[in-house]
Amino acid sequence: MSRAGSSGHPATASTSLPDHELFLSRELSQLAFNRRVLAQAEDPSIPLLERLRYLCISCTNLDEFFEIRVASLRTSVQFGSTATMDGVAPVALLNQIHEEASALVDAQYQFWNETLRPALNDAGVRILPRDAWSAKQKRWLKEYFENEIMPVLSPLGLDPTHPFPRILNKSLNVVVVLEGKDAFGRAGGMAIVRAPRSLPRIIRIPEEVSGQPNDFVLLSAVLTTFVDEIFPGMKVKGAWQFRVTRNSELVLDEEEVENLAHAVRDELLGRGFRPAVRLEIAENCPTAIVQVLLQNFSLPENAVYRINGPVNLNRVIQV
């Protein structure tokens, strides 16, 4: 309730705080909210599949956070902005975001690997890692790879004569290091294998093969296991999954466009290949390979997130 001063007008509360100290960071607040979503998944009193749903929600929320909020901050840095509403410079805020988001990502994958995946296994829904495949399962998966996956793959070599391929926003990819020479006598190096979105990210193994009705494997595990089939005559020294997140914010000047609907359509068509804002990659990928990807995506060190599991963890909801 406001008080009236001697002049009869309501008195205004005075403060000596600078304006920016009255604001909270919108970006850090969103990350804190996302941590609370993950806490719902960690609650053992919630039904198992609901806990899986909460985990996937926290992952998709984080994707959107990078596509919109972090993308805006990186654009601000490019245009030389000096401070956000809370008084923090965009460069410093990006470093804070990387610290907080890295902790959140680590918590997501720790919960998946140590709690949720074993709980699903106990409930009869098994998402099998590579080291758990039986000989019979591996034979079936190899045949599945050769018949269903390999025909739609188009590996692209990385060398001075080939530009770095265009990587679609949030798509599954594998970077491969090769040794030897191919059928044309070209020396091995690096290659990128892009997984089309037509491929299922979760593959169900038939019950007659697996002995269980609900056994699944991740497409990323199948790709990295059998990727050597794509490069006959060459030795695969390593294969690591990665995913890049791109700026998905729509930028339109209504006063400058003649047809707003066409402008929105064109923006949407180009979103998949706009500037990169985040690189997720397998935690065991060598630093030299990560640096090559960062350079090609024009990303700084604080855009890398090493993950212990599938780069598209939200796809496990498909089980």
Q: What architecture is domain 23-123?
A: Up-down Bundle (1.20)
Cα separation of 141 and 133, whole Å? 9
pTM of the model: 0.84
Q: Which residue has the tokens 């805020």?
A: 93
> If we measure between CA atoms, which residue out of 245, 316, 240, 315 comes closest to residue 281?
240
DSSP state of 292: H
Please give the single-letter amino acid code of residue 61.
Answer: N
> If we measure between CA atoms, which residue out of 310, 318, 260 comes closest to residue 281?
310
Cα separation of 148 and 3, whole Å? 75
User: 296-317 burial, b if ≥16 CB within 10 A, otherwise e?
Assistant: bbebeebbbbbbebbbbbbbbb
Question: Over its length of 319 residues, how does the chain's per-residue pLDDT go in tens digits?
Answer: 444 444 454 444 455 555 666 677 889 999 999 999 999 999 999 999 999 999 999 999 999 999 999 998 998 888 777 666 666 788 899 999 999 999 999 999 999 999 999 999 999 999 999 999 999 999 999 999 999 999 999 898 887 777 788 899 999 999 999 987 665 566 668 999 999 999 999 999 999 999 999 999 999 999 999 999 999 888 999 999 999 999 976 554 555 556 555 555 555 555 556 899 999 999 999 999 999 999 999 999 999 999 999 998 999 998 8
In DSSP terms, 218 is beta-bridged to 202
Q: What contacts 24+ positions apart, CB below 8 Å, involve 184-187?
A: 186/157, 186/159
pLDDT at 251: 56
pLDDT in tens, 306-319: 999 999 899 999 88
Q: Count of CB atoms within 10 A of residue 229's CB?
A: 14
